């Protein structure tokens, strides 16, 4: 198809189409005889999708991020909704002010009457705080937490019911924990989020697939990793940086009582849950044995205040080796 | 006051203040010794007012128009409200689309899943029609129609009640007439509207103040004006142009049964109403007499189809000389 046809099909103008090509959203072939673009059906679909996303006011930068890292789409859509909701709230206030101004004017308006009415009317500045919408925050956090366990599952009605229940349970977690988690998610770039989700998915699969035969080698590898970490200043720095903003809320969320729900919802979770506990039990025993004593005291020194060393949670041990040893 | 103090008092930045000065919204004095601006209390008030109006998203052009022609403030505020309401409606639809898109995504989002969800979601283009809001249209039209009769009146509670009743009556006028009137008002510039309101106010006062002694001279003047008009192609053109968009709906509105309400509401109206009828009776008689026969037939030729010549309404006769002979 030629440009003219594309313009007709999409309703986009020439300039916009050229802009999208310059932005590498699509790379149509060119006719070697005259250099004109030849568009494929895929190009048309792509253009239509761009048009749709632009209608929802997504920035070009955000569209790039979403298309490159579609796993991050949830965050971008939610952020965009919140942005538009803020604009909407501001507009509501502006319209309210205009109505009050209108109502205050006398029948025949003089300069003085107009300025008096303006001064009696409060117009909003641009700072708008939205009322918290915990439900939708919880949904976003649930997707981040449990998504990697549900990858590839087509949910039955019963599973959808469990998923709703899981979110209701998640909503009971202290709101401070949830908001910290949300701030963390919002602080990630699409690339970072995508990378993290991919790593966690692989980590989860790896753990879920461990057998009695493969587990000892995995635990040795984890212990070695922890030993290396205990000597690394760089690791300590990263750990401390992420601890309160991410690691702690994440382990708190995972430590909550979702296990029976998740076991029913995802067979992968059930395998993961059993195996991660077996691994952590052994690592825990090792850390408290003579063999691990040096490592344990080095960790205490390095991460003091940033790890509950008295009652090491399985969650914190799991986070300690976490995605670091994903193959 | 110096610029620094002004910045503190208003919260505006230097660049914005300079811009407002360049736009001649204020003309602060300058210190001859160093050329620095010296701002008065009036300048501060002016800046605060500009800040308020900008917070309601008024354009610089609109602010100029309102401040120069405050009688037009109603139209500008109403137009601005409708503009913001349209933006708000569009935002509501965008947020709805985003929510539907969000709900359609699977737990773990692939590129395909994302584009499928986008294609199943309808995003709004920017054409938004607002549901009609007849009440506020009627209010605007009432202000335009009856405002000149109420100039300077501080309404008692009873008069406010009559004013509400008048608007309820106005709402009963066929909606086509009201919408044509609104379109006409929206088509005027602030200057045109201001000019028209000033002229009509003077015309009304002039008519209201006519006495048995002064009326004959006024009627002669009106007849002469009509005679001149009947020979003027330019007048015929303007009349025809305005007839369906303005003159006819206006006379229809004035011919409706608001007279008893307006008589109670405004003594000026009561005087005007009596005198304009006396004038028009005499002009009507003259047009149908031998003296006026030539004029009448020339008018019929010139304005045929643009004037109800069989049953000349007083309203149309009044419009014929209308504001043309205001002193």
Positions of E strands within chain A: 29-30, 37-38
Token pair 């919140």 is at which residue?
A: A82
A71/B108 Cβ within 8 A: yes
Q: Nearest residue on chain A to B198, judged by CA atoms?
A: A108
Structure tokens at B93: 């639809």
Q: Nearest residue on chain A to B86, judged by CA atoms?
A: A91
Query: Radius of gyration (Cα) for chain A, nearest Å?
Result: 27
B106 φψ region: left (φ > 0), alpha (ψ -120 to 50), beta (else): beta
pLDDT tens digits, A78-98: 999 999 999 999 999 999 999
Q: Would the pLDDT of A22 be above 90? A: yes
- Give the pLDDT of residue B319: 83
Token pair 């960790």 is at which residue?
A: A299
Q: Best mutation site among A10, A16, A73, A196 for testing chain B: the one with the most B CBs within 10 Å?
A: A73
A109/B70 Cβ within 8 A: yes
Confidence bin at A257 (pLDDT 50/70/90): confident
Of A91, A110, A151, the CB nearest to B107: A151
pLDDT tens digits, A218-255: 999 999 999 998 888 898 898 898 898 888 888 888 87
- Beta-bridged to residue B29, according to DSSP, are B38
B124/A151 Cβ within 8 A: no
- Give the pLDDT of residue B197: 87
Q: Would the pLDDT of A311 be above 70? A: no
- Give the pLDDT of residue B306: 86
Distance, in Å, from the CA atom of A263 to the CA atom of A267, rounded to the nearest integer, reads: 6
Quick check: B206 and B324 in contact, CB under 8 A?
no
Neighbours of B166 (CB within 10 A): 19
End-to-end CA distance of chain A: 45
Of B67, B73, B84, the CB nearest to A91: B84
Token pair 């500008």 is at which residue?
A: B76
Closest CA to B77 of A126, A106, A116, A97: A97
Distance from CA of A15 to the nearest CA of B (A): 18
CATH of domain B3-55: 1.10.1660.10
Q: Best mutation site among B67, B106, B107 for testing chain A: the one with the most A CBs within 10 Å?
A: B107
- Give the pLDDT of residue A310: 66
A111/B67 Cβ within 8 A: yes
Mean pLDDT computed over every residue of chain A: 89
As averages over each run of 10 residues, the pLDDT of chain B (327 residues) reads: 90 93 93 91 93 94 92 92 94 96 89 91 86 85 88 84 90 89 90 88 92 94 91 90 88 80 90 92 91 90 80 76 72
Structure tokens at A297: 């005291």
Quick check: A97 and A121 in contact, CB under 8 A?
yes
Quick check: A113 and A158 in contact, CB under 8 A?
no
Of A92, A110, A151, the CB nearest to B88: A92
- Give the pLDDT of residue B152: 76
Q: Nearest residue on chain A to B151, judged by CA atoms?
A: A108
Structure tokens at B124: 């709004």
B111/A98 Cβ within 8 A: no
- Domain map of chain B by residue range? 3-55, 71-120, 134-325
Contacts of A87 in chain B (CB under 8 A): 91
Distance from CA of A112 to the nearest CA of B (A): 9
Contacts of B115 in chain A (CB under 8 A): 45, 49
Q: Nearest residue on chain B to A116, judged by CA atoms?
A: B49
A111/B98 Cβ within 8 A: no
SS3 B29: strand
- Give the pLDDT of residue B132: 78
Of B48, B108, B197, the CB nearest to A147: B108
End-to-end CA distance of chain B: 45
Distance, in Å, from the CA atom of A14 to the CA atom of A5, rounded to the nearest integer, reads: 11
What is the average pLDDT across A304-319? 76
Q: Which long-range contacts (CB under 8 A, 24 or more apart) does A60-66 make?
A: A60/A23, A63/A25, A64/A23, A64/A25, A65/A189, A65/A190, A65/A191, A66/A190, A66/B114
A108/B88 Cβ within 8 A: no
Q: Best mutation site among B44, B55, B193 for testing chain A: the one with the most A CBs within 10 Å?
A: B55
B45/A78 Cβ within 8 A: no
Structure tokens at B2: 């110096």
Q: Best mutation site among B108, B122, B147 for testing chain A: the one with the most A CBs within 10 Å?
A: B108
Distance, in Å, from the CA atom of A274 to the CA atom of A260, rounded to the nearest integer, reads: 12
DSSP state at residue A171: T
pLDDT tens digits, A100-152: 999 999 888 888 999 999 999 999 988 878 887 888 889 999 889 888 898 77
């Amino acid at each position: 198809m030629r440009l003219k046809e594309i313009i007709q099909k999409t309703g986009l103008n020439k300039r916009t189409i050229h802009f999208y090509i310059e932005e590498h959203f699509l790379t149509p072939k060119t006719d070697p005889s005259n250099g004109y673009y030849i568009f494929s059906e895929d190009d048309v679909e792509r253009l239509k999708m761009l048009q749709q996303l632009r209608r929802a006011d997504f920035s070009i930068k955000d569209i790039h991020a979403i298309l490159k890292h579609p796993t991050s789409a949830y965050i971008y859509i939610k952020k965009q909704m919140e942005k538009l909701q803020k604009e909407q709230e501001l507009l509501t206030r502006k319209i309210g002010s205009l109505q009050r101004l209108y109502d205050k004017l006398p029948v025949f308006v003089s300069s003085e009457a107009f300025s008096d009415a303006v001064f009696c009317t409060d117009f909003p500045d641009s700072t708008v705080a939205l009322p918290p919408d915990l439900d939708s925050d919880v949904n976003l956090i649930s997707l981040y937490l449990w998504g990697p366990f549900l990858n590839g599952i087509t949910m039955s009605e019963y599973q959808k019911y469990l998923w709703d229940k899981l979110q209701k349970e998640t909503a009971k977690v202290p709101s401070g924990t949830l908001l910290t988690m949300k701030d963390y998610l919002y602080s990630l770039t699409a690339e970072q989020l995508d990378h993290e989700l991919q790593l966690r998915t692989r980590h989860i699969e790896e753990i879920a697939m461990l057998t009695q035969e493969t587990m000892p080698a995995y635990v040795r590898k984890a212990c070695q990793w922890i030993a290396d970490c205990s000597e690394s200043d760089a690791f300590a720095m990263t750990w401390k940086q992420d601890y309160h903003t991410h690691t702690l809320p994440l382990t708190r969320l995972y430590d909550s009582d979702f296990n029976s729900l998740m076991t029913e919802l995802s067979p992968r979770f059930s395998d993961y849950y059993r195996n991660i506990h077996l691994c952590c039990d052994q690592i825990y025993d090792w850390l408290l044995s003579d063999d691990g004593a040096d490592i344990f005291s080095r960790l205490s020194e390095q991460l003091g205040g940033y790890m509950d060393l008295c009652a090491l949670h399985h969650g914190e041990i799991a986070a300690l080796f976490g995605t670091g040893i994903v193959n």
